[in-house]
A and B are shown apart, each in its own frame.
Chain A
């Protein structure tokens, strides 16, 4: 899988939030797969790091969790965005967009 890279620092939480925003309630494995798909298979998540990140978001109140039944008819823990999480997602999205646009100016080929 050449060309794949790890998750940049501090972006995993936002990816989780945006995934849940788009997909609705989802279990951990589903979130991980979805992030990989969304990134066009460019990102490779170490699945093990996903769960502490989920726990942190839950402790912060951005998401909640509950047990449900998966598409394969199996008990699985589902994560769902809270209202605070939605707000956080919106705010962090704006911040990232701003950062990205600033960086873009630096990275654009200079016209001297």
Chain B
């Protein structure tokens, strides 16, 4: 209690400093006078009396000092003093101050931006209440590859699990919005009724979906996203309860989602309930297309939920053998969302930390040079009794103050850059719209700034107070001869070189990997090719009654539509070739099937049939994309629905299953024979088409440039569309492809005015977008590495010119005695070369250890690629030596007379 009171009094004492001092002075003066009077009364003269009184008081200054320390908090006083002192020093050398502030602001700012991204993606929970309970529930194949889930299975998992509060499924489809205004294609998330409840995101207005909305017939209700509601309906609240036309059917708007709602980067404009007509083929074990998200019950974990759901999965497999070889995987939704970018983010966070370290080393060097200039001042202060610890604290406070000011600037920079991040496409970096500067980022920045200040201030401050006052003062005008300071500087620069080399090698590997990706033969010619998406509404273009009986005639109308589109476009001037395909290259392995090869015995289950990618094509797809035909012929208009069933296969397919022999004439099927299909799931007259291979096409990278091409089976749309209503138009043009777009739209309108052309892009931009992420990583890492190189070069230059200046007199003497400039150069450069050599050696070791973390980001290049290591080392050494050479040369150019007269 008493201590607390004392502390409070002392803190208060900090504030009325002047009054306290004044009063104490008055009290002491009164004391002295009384004492003097007493002494004079005892018979002393005034001088004697005063002298005796002063002696008994024991030194006014010391008394004052003790009193002052007692009255207030000396530590806080010191801090205030140090900060004042620091501010004074900053004002006194504005050039130095602005350089330090700039370097710190850039260095810390880059760290703040990287951290705010990492914070959002890896540390901060997803923007839903209790987000840690949310789990991605996935069907995976035996080798761990993610697959989708069939609706009947989802219903089982939803009804029978004990570990989840709720389980929702979702998939996304484009819908056509028609009505009063321009028809528009929107992306719609089709969800089971508990979707929003699982996320715990209630709609901003209107109601959530309920189980009743899943009933076929009652399912035509829709929730709009806030952005879409504002754009298309002018934020009109009266839209609630009104119908809008989606895919030519009236859907009642029942709600609007809250502003800013997003779901793991799926950019949808609306939500509709998942519902299937009785007997719908989609709702069967023939179709796997659902993804699932669940919320754990309290007490359950991902592991227990996995056990629980796999129990159900095993029961399903017992009844439906086509599920064999799959199981359920449960993992945190957050981890699933960011897993693709996590390694790159961590690498970049590390890299930007390296840049800051290099910047710190440079600043430390700068301070060291300044410390050398202040050696006499400090020696003097120590000589007249200043406490070394106190001076050390003061110097540190100075550098920390600088760093904190720089950190404040850094926050400003970061704030601006974070705003710009929001414009990044989701494919490059997920959740960028959520990136912001929050408490964690502020705390991180503050911590990094203070650490930076300590880091670049500690060594110089330590060096400064480590002086023998006598020696330093004796040195007089000679400022040279601080060998330990020089060694500290050289060590710092070697460290910079090492760090820069690690970064440069990392960036070099990424660049080489990017180059390797660019050199990959994608299997097609992207130049002057326009692509666009076309989807027809099932209602109008698919005969669902025939489809249920597996009759190809069900798709006659859509086949005619795409045929007409191809014909219309072919006749346009400036078009060299035109075709259409169900999935473009680099869009992913979007349509997988299992092929039956009739020239060999049938396996016992469907999953043992060779997995292939299936694409249906129309028109001159191969010619339009420039995919070479290696043998046989391409499809012709004669390959109609009624004609002999034909297929093309890719070279990889021929290589894998016919051992490179020409497979033309072989017979295959892309649907399993009836023996392998569970009884009852197909009509008794089910008979998969037997397709005769008529040609072999070159390999095309459908999934990504970085993966090996999968085997592909192509079928003509007229024969094998299987209900596909979305095709991608591929138009090879003679001139600028984008100039064709308006005319193209017009032609499509002539075929069917209700069908919009969407997703219009040149093939080249698709290729470029497919490597956007590795390119971004390489560019960012490259920028950091370039910055590191620049900083390291500046560091070497600074140290070398400082060393040269210190030795000016020595050089003058040597030259006066006849040393040639070459000898001087060698003398000066020797140190620089040693510095660079040590740095490079350390950097190479570091790079070998650290580039391993890049392995998952690299394509076609090993993490210790000797060419990159050697090349980058040469470049860095050259830059470093150049930075060392310039000041050394300048020193040799100085006339000896001037050099001698120096100082």
Contact = CB atoms under 8 A, between A and B. Distances in A.
Nearest to B7: A59
A76 B2 contact: no
Contacts of A48: 57-60, 62-63, 66
A60 B27 contact: no
Given A75-B30, A76-B30, A60 B6 contact: yes
Interface string A51-67: 11001101111000000
B37 A72 contact: yes
A55 B24 CA distance: 10
B30 A70 contact: yes
A90 interface: no
A27 interface: yes
B20 to A, nearest CB: 9
B67 A55 contact: yes
Nearest to B35: A29
B59 A29 contact: no
Contact of B10 (A28, A51, A59): A59
Given A27-B30, A48-B58, A77-B27, A59 B5 contact: yes
11 contacts: A29-B30, A29-B31, A47-B58, A48-B57, A48-B59, A52-B63, A52-B66, A56-B6, A59-B9, A70-B34, A74-B34
B67 A52 contact: yes
Contacts of B5: 59-61
Nearest to A74: B30
Contacts of A29: 30-31, 34-35
A76 to B, nearest CB: 5
Contacts of B33: 74
Interface in B16-72: 23-24, 26-28, 30-31, 33-35, 37-38, 56-60, 62-63, 66-67, 70-71
Contact of B30 (A46, A52, A55, A77): A77
A58 to B, nearest CB: 8
Contacts of A77: 23, 26-27, 30
A11 interface: no
Nearest to A61: B5
Interface of B: 2, 5-6, 9-10, 23-24, 26-28, 30-31, 33-35, 37-38, 56-60, 62-63, 66-67, 70-71
Contacts of B9: 58-59
A49 interface: yes
Contacts of B23: 77
A51 B34 contact: no
Given A72-B37, A77-B23, A51 B30 contact: no
3 tightest A-B contacts by CB? Answer: A48-B63, A48-B58, A59-B9
Interface in A1-55: 27-29, 33, 46-49, 51-52, 55
A47 B57 contact: yes
A51 B24 contact: yes
B578 to A, nearest CB: 93
A46 B71 contact: no
Given A59-B5, A61-B2, A51 B62 contact: no
B206 to A, nearest CB: 66
A46 B58 contact: yes
Contact of A28 (B31, B58, B60): B31
Contacts of B37: 72
Nearest to B31: A29
Contacts of B2: 60-61
A51 B38 CA distance: 19
A46 B28 contact: no
A48 B56 CA distance: 8
B633 to A, nearest CB: 103
Contacts of A28: 27, 31
A55 B868 CA distance: 72
Nearest to B23: A77
B56 A46 contact: yes
A76 B56 CA distance: 19
A106 to B, nearest CB: 31
A49 B70 CA distance: 11
Nearest to A62: B2
Given A28-B27, A28-B31, 11 more contacts: A46-B56, A46-B58, A47-B31, A47-B58, A52-B66, A55-B67, A55-B71, A60-B6, A72-B37, A74-B30, A77-B30
A49 B6 contact: no
B450 to A, nearest CB: 32
B3 to A, nearest CB: 9
A46 B55 CA distance: 9
A47 B62 CA distance: 12
A70 B23 CA distance: 16
B9 to A, nearest CB: 4
Contacts of B27: 28, 51, 76-77
B58 A52 contact: no
Nearest to A60: B2
B811 to A, nearest CB: 58
A49 B5 CA distance: 22
Most buried by B among A28, A51, A74: A51
Contacts of B31: 27-29, 47
Contacts of A76: 27, 30, 34
Nearest to A30: B34
Contacts of B35: 29, 47
A60 B27 CA distance: 20
Contact of B70 (A27, A55, A70): A55
B28 A51 contact: yes
A47 B39 CA distance: 15
A59 B6 contact: yes
Nearest to B58: A48
A48 B35 CA distance: 13
A88 to B, nearest CB: 9
Nearest to B27: A77
A47 B58 CA distance: 7
A75 B22 CA distance: 14
Interface in A72-92: 72, 74-77
A46 B28 CA distance: 13
Given A28-B31, A29-B30, A51 B63 contact: yes
Contacts of B28: 51
Contacts of B24: 51
Most buried by B among A29, A46, A52: A29
A63 B674 CA distance: 104
A25 to B, nearest CB: 14
Most buried by B among A48, A49, A70, A75: A48
Contacts of A56: 6, 70
A52 B70 contact: yes
A69 B830 CA distance: 79
Nearest to B53: A47
A59 B67 CA distance: 12
A112 to B, nearest CB: 45
Contact of A49 (B26, B58, B60): B58
A17 B848 CA distance: 74
Most buried by B among A46, A55, A70, A76: A55
A39 to B, nearest CB: 15
Nearest to B33: A74
B97 to A, nearest CB: 40
A52 B60 CA distance: 12
A58 B67 CA distance: 13
A55 B2 CA distance: 14
A51 B67 CA distance: 7
Contacts of B66: 48-49, 52
A28 to B, nearest CB: 6
A47 B28 CA distance: 10
A52 B69 CA distance: 9
Contacts of B26: 75, 77
Nearest to B2: A60
B44 to A, nearest CB: 15
Nearest to B56: A47
Contacts of A75: 26, 30
A67 B56 CA distance: 24
A74 B5 CA distance: 32
